[in-house]
Structure 1
């Protein structure tokens, strides 16, 4: 069309040119009302600006600048709309001023045609309503089954019931269409012939009622279980009623009224009626959108608040603020396309709208299906939870993130399908291109790599946890196994993340060769600059291989004694008796003293006074051990009989006897404390003195065995600790201790070193 318009000036200047269109093409151009109007407008613009002809002659179709193309497109659209408005005004004025030529109009034929068409319309709609009433029990039963059944996922039940209801609805429309055709053919008008007007109505009825059936699938105001959109019954009823009116007005108006007016009245009048219908529908739609602007915004904000996906929540919040702008733009585009392209505008808008709704609804259903199937908390069996206690929390932490990624991909796909439906993006051509196929292939490859890496991690981490779990495998693992398996799990995580990142980078087209080379150079530089760190790591590896210590052991490392709480590849964390946490790098460790290997010993040295019997003290020590071995709290920690080493020292004021108790590792300190308590009680019961430091005074002896006078006077009177004679008690205190308490036994009378010799 544009080529013909551009060739008209050249044809006028040089009709013998071989590049000009043939006469039959010009005849076809002039027979088309729209093309004729465009040609007239084009010639008027050239007459107003003669330079346009020369410019257009010098510019080829592919050489026109983008601003010029936009300017001409905008000018053409405005001109077309202005022409339609003028035609509409002329038609309306002609109707009221009786300027229209009515001499050629056969009003009798119009009345007859209107009656026959009215009978077809009434019969078709009556048959349609009867069939709809017969299918209502089926719809009600499907709705109840969708809401109350527990056989499958709710989304799958909803989709299945909606599909069955849609098939029944389509069947009703088809039967009404066939019935209307039979009535129009054999009962109304000339028998055996289907009139053009009846055919127009029935075709419009089929298309429009199918569109309304699709709207009933979305809203379904009467049946809660057959509604695809998650809105209330009142909202569904309102929007279903409003959209049905709008579809009926535009559909029946453009597909029935306008063709009949063109056939029975005048083409210009029909064109004006079509424009009037579109303007009325546009004004009606704009009024409804503006009236519901706040209500829809609040509903969308409520949906955004319930969403757990950040991208969805932000998108809904933005859409809540601007949804009315999109709606107004949609209706404006429909109006402009219908006025400028009346031949193919309505089918294009219809199919684009249906594709948009289909993409959005399918995306919402897929998202809901994923939420109801894998979005809920995963629960494993009791036996599997017992064997792998960390598998269920790990899966429940991975699945929501995967669900967010899938929802984001669904959103991108829906946007691309919507843009493709309206011609803003050619999805098929993009996918057929090398860039499209490459991007899709890369995304699929990356997804498979990530899934494989996650599967490997889950399998190996679960195997390690199975080995560490005392309820499975071979029972409680030893400390060395716990430490090595924990370190292996951490190393596995680091290695798996590194390898996955490298493979993903290589898959998306990034050359990882320089990265690997750079990492090697960086590692070499770090090795020279961080020799201490390398020494820490190497020493830590040998300490772990030699099983020098494990988590939970009581060790002495680097001059610090305590419990090893954390072991890494380069350091050990020790908690001492005071609760202080120390981190000791392995490079500073020369000796590891481990108190938790195989067994432990409580080594005790107990001093008795020189005047006490050693054998009696040993008997008391054995009795204290027997009592300890019979105690329920400590008997399971003692693994051997008491070892009595005997007298190990004749000290200044005591005779020291050493004993040793063999215990399970880590319990020697508790056993020792309990044994010390029992030793004290048994010594007190037998009157065996655990001495404090004594001082002996020696005055010396001459060669002739004479002793110099000492001038020492011993007082028989005792003094208490406060210096009071006779050990008198304080006021209000008891003056004597219980005679039954062995700890109350009085000290023996003092004896000199040589008393036995004098006796």
Structure 2
């Protein structure tokens, strides 16, 4: 119906802001943009009248309901995505970045100085009350005198104990029974120092409760003194631990007495000036006199301290550098490296320490000293623990594992291999100690949040990877050690009569051990690379492609390997065998998977690839053979010559060294050859491998002896004299004999 469509159009026009189910906000917005004009009052009245007419008629009402349901079930239109151009970031040069960072920190430093100037000039003025100041100062000084008196008294009482502890520790150290006594005495003296400090603070708290006159100002000043006293004396206890000026026996380092007293006195005075100046004097002046005067006093005190510290540092720079180098010369190699590095830069580190303390005290007077002292103590503790651990690891490096003689005979390389793994593990642990020390030092100075890094993100992942790599290397080392030791046990003999393995077995086991080392190393490297995040799939694919390319270009190498493997399994030759390969005869000295090394008797060493060997002769295979032929003059008697040969063989067999080389009995073949001038006699021997030449040489000597004794002559060489040819021009005279020929003919 047309009037229904008109009604729907008029009805939807004023309701564009409403949300109909199934219609998105984007569609509503677009509709509102297209029909922004609101219908008039007459149009609204016509629409309402049409709606009333529709609702009165049942058919029209049903048609209206169907159309509304159809609209409700229509899916919403997809919103059109908005194309936003990418944000263009401005590319900055390195100089611009440096300028920006320096400007940021320079502005922050300038704001700090501006705040310091406002504190000095613009703080509220407080009236000075001399009577209150004098009363508080008297109670403060009384408590300070009593605390210092008690502290000096108890320290004097324990001085004899310190001397006895030092002498006992030095005596035990000279006897070299155990190196722990002297460090134990040094640490014990430091602990006693701390206990005395705790006792003194306890007495100071009791005195403070009685000497504050129920005045909060006096109690506050006395609390400042006790806090400063605890902090400063704790630092002095550390100085006494290092220098120990009054008891040289408890001094842990080789420092001269004069040098120890010099530095202990000046560093103690410097720490007292810093502590009592910043923690006591400046707060009291700010509270009792004026805030501006307190701020100025803080600047003056820290300026004097910094100038004095820098003077001491550069005045003693060369002397301390020389002492550090001397200490490095008497230290272990590992510690010598760090001490020499410290000798080069110690003055810059010390200067930076006091300069940083100066600026911190200007900007944050209340917390600067606490932070610096806390960081210093933490640094000393970290360095001490790291030095102790590194020293223990270095001492263990000098020690070796010694196995029993029986185990060394059964596993010849096991002790060397275990000591090698232990040395590598200890060196790795020492490197990890150094890395952890550096990160803890940075954490102590708030330059790096070590604990957050360790528990979250990259630190946790790094530690997890290191643990996995350590486990992988450990199991690889254990597996290689076990397998290699089993192979070496098979290669060795024992005292219970087990013979050495054959040369073939030794060669095969050696080749198998080398192949096993390559396989284990390759697998370990691949797994470690995978653990640290390297994608090994391209490596494996590249290795496969490279292997395919190499296989086409190295067919001879593959042939060498295959031929060598078959020769080894057929037990063709072994190390130490005498072989003939082609024109070469020599002893096999080395056999690899690709070639064999042969040494001739002239000393020449030949490397022969397996693939070039078609045939070879091995002289070390079960037995050796001697076939001895002797020529005798044809006119000699055969029986006499045979008897002489038998006598020579009989006498030879009576020699024990020769008889042990002959297997069985010699065999006489008798006359085996006859010529116009001689006949040949033969005797044969079966000998041990490679002993045929020894038997042959001894037999020749004995035959010569018996042939000479029996008068058996060797064959005689005869010559036939032929006349020279006659010349036709000058016939020879019948009276003169013919001349001899120019050369005799045999």
Q: TM-score, structure 1 length as denominator? A: 0.74
State the Cα distance separating 1:497 from its structure 2 match.
1.2
Structure 1 distance, partners of 2:516, 2:256, is 52
The match for 1:459 among 474, 478, 482 is 482
Instruction: Give the equivalent residue in structure 1 for 2:348.
Output: 325
The match for 1:368 among 365, 369, 391 is 391
Distance 1:111 1:346, change over 3 A: closer
Distance 1:391 1:321, change over 3 A: same
State the Cα distance separating 1:488 from its structure 2 match.
1.4
Contiguous gaps of at least 5 residues in structure 2: 1-98, 724-735, 739-746
Greater mean alpha carbon deviation, residues 580-589 or residues 621-630:
621-630
Structure 2 distance, partners of 1:268, 1:684, is 132
Distance 1:297 1:123, change over 3 A: closer
Structure 2 distance, partners of 1:477, 1:510, is 44
Distance 1:300 1:492, change over 3 A: farther
State the Cα distance separating 1:416 from its structure 2 match.
0.9
The match for 1:121 among 147, 172, 192 is 147
The yes-or-no answer on 1:478 pairing with 2:502 is: yes
Instruction: Give the equivalent residue in structure 1 for 2:203.
Output: 179
Contact 1:128 1:173 in 2 (8 A): no
Instruction: Give the equivalent residue in structure 2 for 1:513.
Output: 537
Instruction: Give the equivalent residue in structure 2 for 1:561.
Output: 585
Instruction: Give the equivalent residue in structure 1 for 2:455.
Output: 432
Distance 1:288 1:268, change over 3 A: same
Structure 2 distance, partners of 1:388, 1:442, is 34
The yes-or-no answer on 1:641 pairing with 2:665 is: yes
Instruction: Give the equivalent residue in structure 1 for 2:626.
Output: 602
The yes-or-no answer on 1:69 pairing with 2:104 is: yes
Matched positions, count: 624
State the Cα distance separating 1:558 from its structure 2 match.
3.4
The yes-or-no answer on 1:673 pairing with 2:673 is: no
Contact 2:126 2:289 in 1 (8 A): no
Partner SS state of residue 665, structure 2:
coil
The yes-or-no answer on 1:445 pairing with 2:473 is: no
Instruction: Give the equivalent residue in structure 1 for 2:26.
Output: none
Partner SS state of residue 399, structure 2:
coil
Larger Rg: 2
Greater mean alpha carbon deviation, residues 341-350 or residues 609-618:
609-618
Contact 1:621 1:679 in 2 (8 A): yes
Instruction: Give the equivalent residue in structure 2 for 1:656.
Output: 680
Contact 1:147 1:225 in 2 (8 A): no
Instruction: Give the equivalent residue in structure 2 for 1:335.
Output: 358
Structure 1 distance, partners of 2:249, 2:623, is 71
State the Cα distance separating 1:222 from its structure 2 match.
5.8
The yes-or-no answer on 1:275 pairing with 2:310 is: no
State the Cα distance separating 1:385 from its structure 2 match.
3.3
Q: TM-score, structure 2 length as denominator? A: 0.75
Distance 1:396 1:538, change over 3 A: same
Partner SS state of residue 377, structure 2:
helix
For 1:607-646, what aligned pairs fall within 5 Å after superposition?
607-631=631-655, 633-646=657-670
Distance 1:532 1:192, change over 3 A: same
Instruction: Give the equivalent residue in structure 2 for 1:144.
Output: 170
Instruction: Give the equivalent residue in structure 2 for 1:493.
Output: 517
Instruction: Give the equivalent residue in structure 1 for 2:438.
Output: 415
State the Cα distance separating 1:236 from its structure 2 match.
4.9
Structure 2 distance, partners of 1:583, 1:334, is 73
Greater mean alpha carbon deviation, residues 568-577 or residues 686-695:
686-695
Structure 2 distance, partners of 1:487, 1:418, is 51
Structure 2 distance, partners of 1:639, 1:299, is 79
Structure 2 distance, partners of 1:686, 1:107, is 141
Contact 2:170 2:182 in 1 (8 A): no
Structure 2 distance, partners of 1:230, 1:620, is 92
The match for 1:130 among 147, 151, 156 is 156
Instruction: Give the equivalent residue in structure 2 for 1:165.
Output: 189
Partner SS state of residue 412, structure 2:
coil
Distance 1:83 1:660, change over 3 A: farther
State the Cα distance separating 1:136 from its structure 2 match.
1.3
Distance 1:231 1:622, change over 3 A: farther
Distance 1:389 1:626, change over 3 A: farther
Instruction: Give the equivalent residue in structure 1 for 2:311.
Output: 287
Distance 1:121 1:657, change over 3 A: same
Structure 1 distance, partners of 2:382, 2:140, is 41
Residues 274-332 of structure 1, C-alpha deviations (whole Å, 9 max, x = no match): 3333222212221221122223333444566677768x766554443222112211111
Contact 1:601 1:660 in 2 (8 A): yes
Instruction: Give the equivalent residue in structure 2 for 1:691.
Output: 715
Contact 2:313 2:351 in 1 (8 A): yes
State the Cα distance separating 1:425 from its structure 2 match.
0.9
Structure 2 distance, partners of 1:116, 1:130, is 21
Contact 1:628 1:634 in 2 (8 A): yes
Instruction: Give the equivalent residue in structure 2 for 1:580.
Output: 604
Distance 1:651 1:293, change over 3 A: farther
Distance 1:379 1:553, change over 3 A: same
Distance 1:383 1:68, change over 3 A: same
Contact 1:77 1:336 in 2 (8 A): no
Contact 2:144 2:225 in 1 (8 A): no
RMSD: 3.7
Contiguous gaps of at least 5 residues in structure 1: 1-63, 91-98, 700-710, 714-759
Contact 1:602 1:662 in 2 (8 A): yes
Structure 2 distance, partners of 1:238, 1:650, is 113
Partner SS state of residue 641, structure 1:
strand
The yes-or-no answer on 1:388 pairing with 2:411 is: yes
Partner SS state of residue 325, structure 1:
helix
Instruction: Give the equivalent residue in structure 2 for 1:213.
Output: 237
